[in-house]
Structure 1
Amino acid sequence: MKKINRRTKVIIFTIMIGVIIIGAYIAGILIPDSGVAPDFSNTKLPPSFSHPFGTDWLGRDLFLRTLKGLSISLTIGIMASLISGAAAVLIGIAAAMGSRRIDGIINWFIDLVMGVPHTILIILISFACGRGMKGLLLGIAVTHWTGLARLIRGEVLQLRNQQYVAVSRKLGKSGSWILVHHLLPHLLPQFFVGLVLMFPHAILHEAAISFLGYGLPPEQPAIGIILSESMKYLSAGMWWLAVFPGALLVCIVLLVDRLGDNLRMIIDPYSAQE
């Protein structure tokens, strides 16, 4: 029997991770509001076959509520990562293709954003925008573009010195033509992998800010809200209110991070040879 090579194993494992994440996301979206409605006849029940994660003080099924909250966290993570990734590509290209003065200003601004702790900056932005989904999205998007922007800038600076780019300039091709036909095809894999690796950070920051009370409103069943509410009942022995939602969040974050590493190994020829 022919042995499966390492690259094939990575591709199969990546597909499995993607199916798990997409399945959890779709399952959370399909859960109706009635599925997480209060049921005072089943309050404070420990984990069982009928309620795998137990129930809370209002009798709500914690498993269904956690899945629904996870879909909200994933939605915010996807949207914030896309906004932040697009900004990183534009800023990175502008820094590399612009004048030395523009490059210096952009690098100074990147250092400024990176010098402020992300949690504090997200809280300030979220508070200034009146909290809620809008402020949380803006805060996460503003704070997560710097690393990818520097990566894109370095990649563009390297590509600009390639021989085929110099030949295109000699043939009279414009800067926009070179950008579309020579630079962007090389930047897309970096952008895609950077987007996936940015995703778990966005999810964790969303949960942390909501946990602190500066993110989503309390009526939203987000993971951060669930964990924040559970703190009041841990001393009463209701450990399952924090353990299962927190463990599921950590598992999803680790899976997404692993997905990003696998995609980098598949797309990047240098990583594939490691």
Structure 2
Amino acid sequence: MDQATVTGRTRATAGSRRYGPAAGRAVRRSVRLAAGTLVLLGLAVVVVPLVARVDERLVDLGSAALPPGLAHPFGTDEMGRDVLLRSIYGLRVSLLVGLVAAAVSVAIGGVVGVVAGALGGVVDRLLMRVVDGFNSLPHLLLGIFIVAMFAPSAWAVIVSVGLTHWTTAARIVRSEVLSLRGRPYIDAAIGGGSSRMRIIRRHFVPALIPHLGLAATLMVPHAIWHETALSFLGLGLPPHLASLGNMINDGQRSLLAGAWWPSVFPGLFILLPTLAVAVLAQHWRDRTNPRRRSELNL
């Protein structure tokens, strides 16, 4: 090996050592920023409704379409309602709908994935064809069809999201169960006379909890966007509720008059938690995936 090759490898090693800690610090800063953002938003949706002395539905035509200022940091809409207060209330409604819808979706997908992976054979093939059939349909159009069968309500949105987004969790769970079936301790449990339900309960479910948690975490912002889209189209939550989709729908009329704040600020309340959850979910995935973690430590 010549001297130039040795020198090049030495420089590459030094460069990786030099930039490795900096990259780690950048990741930690982004994780802390994302976690701080979610904590602040969570405190806002819990504390503000308890201490606010103003009803977010209060109409004050004398204060209509006020730009952002000291009295109203995010301005007011065309009916004089405070945009900041309504955005916090809307985020609370969207988070509740997103959390419940994500739980329903992951529960359905988890059951389907466990059954398909544990039983295998004809059952596995049949369930995977059902998953492929659902994936071939546009989720938003299918969600609109489901919501249209009910009156506008939070439960209609939850059912819509739960019945259209369970396929991702089903595939993740099935893949993990198929991987677990080849482990030596599963063969030992089968040889020891353990029943299939006991193996699922004692071995599969504990190993699947991190994957289901990650799937549920990633599903929450997706469910929020789905709820926002349905409410924007007038098919989601009732118009009197301060949901983010309803606010953006109402604010589009103000854009023609030059009032941008009734639409922009609710949109930020959708974007910020989505980005924060994406950063934390990526960090969670890197921490729980041994192969990925070893690559990061190189």
Cross-structure match for 2:17? none
Alpha carbons 2:37, 2:273 under 8 Å: kept: no
- Tell whether the 8 Å contact from 2:34 to 2:276 is kept in structure 1 after alignment: no
Aligned partner of 2:198 in structure 1 is: 177
Check 1:226–1:176 CA distance in 2 against 1; reply closer, same or farther (3 A cut). Answer: same
| Alpha-carbon distance in 2 for matches of 1:243, 1:21 | 17
Contact in 1 for aligned 2:34/2:277 (Cα 8 Å): no
Q: Deviations over 1:191-222 (max 9, x none)?
A: 00111011111000100110001111110100
8 Å contact kept, 1:35–1:64: yes
**Paired residue secondary structure (1:233):** helix
Contact 2:154-2:236 within 8 A present in 1 as well: yes
Which residue of 76, 82, 87 maps to 2:103? 82
Q: How does 1:53-72 map to 2 (within 5 A)?
A: 53-72=74-93
Residues 243 and 268 of structure 1: CA distance in aligned 2, closer, same or farther (over 3 Å): same
User: Within 5 Å, which residues of 2 pair with 1:190-201?
Assistant: 190-201=211-222
Structure 2 unaligned spans of 5+? 1-20
**Equivalent pairs, count:** 272
What does 1:99-248 align with in structure 2 at a 5 Å threshold?
99-248=120-269
Partner AA of 1:37 in structure 2:
L
Q: CA deviation at 1:12?
A: 4.4
In 1, Cα distance between the equivalents of 2:45 and 2:258?
30
What TM-score, normalized by structure 2, do the two folds share? 0.85
How much has 1:13 moved relative to structure 2?
5.1
Q: What are the superposed Cα offsets for residues 82-121 of structure 1, whole Å, 9 maximum, x if unpaired?
A: 0111111100001111241111111111111111111101
Checking the alignment, whether the CA contact within 8 Å between 1:84 and 1:144 is kept in structure 2 is yes
CA distance in 2 between counterparts of 1:241 and 1:158 reads 49
Q: Which amino acid aligns with 1:53?
A: F
Give the TM-score normalised by the residue count of structure 1. Answer: 0.92
User: Aligned pair in 2 of structure 1 residues 179, 14: CA closer, same or farther (>3 Å)?
Assistant: farther
Distance in 2 separating the partners of 1:43 and 1:178: 63
What is aligned with 1:22?
A: 42
Q: Which amino acid aligns with 1:83?
A: V
- Answer with 157-166 or 262-271: which moved more: 262-271
Moved more, 11-20 or 127-136: 11-20
1:17 and 1:191 map into 2 onto residues whose CA distance is 23
Is 1:9 matched up with 2:28?
A: yes
Q: Deviations over 1:158-195 (max 9, x none)?
A: 10111010011111111122112211121110000111
The 3-state SS of whatever aligns with 1:121 is: helix
Deviation at 1:32, TM superposition (A): 6.2
Residue in 2 that maps onto 1:254? 275
Q: RMSD across aligned C-alpha pairs, in angstroms? A: 2.1
Q: Residues 28 and 70 of structure 1 are in contact (CA less than 8 Å); yes or no, is this contact kept in structure 2?
A: no
1:119-171 deviations in Å (ceiling 9; x for gaps): 10111000012232121110011111111110110110110111010011111
**What secondary structure, in the 3-state scheme, does the structure 2 residue paired with 1:236 have?**
coil
1:9 counterpart letter in structure 2:
R
Task: Tell me the equivalent position of 1:43.
Answer: 64
Q: Which has the larger radius of gyration?
A: 2
Quick check: 183-192 or 249-258, which moved more? 249-258
Does the CA-based 8 Å contact 2:37-2:272 persist in structure 1?
A: no
In the other structure, the counterpart of 2:11 is: none
- How far apart are the structure 2 equivalents of 1:130 and 1:70? 22
Greater Cα shift, 231-240 or 8-17: 8-17
Aligned to 2:7: none
Deviation readout 1:18-61 (Å, 9 max, x if unpaired): 42342233245435662441122311100012211101121111
Question: 1 CA distance for matches of 2:23 and 2:169?
Answer: 31
2:287 aligned counterpart, secondary structure? helix
* Structure 1 stretches lacking a partner, 5+ long: none
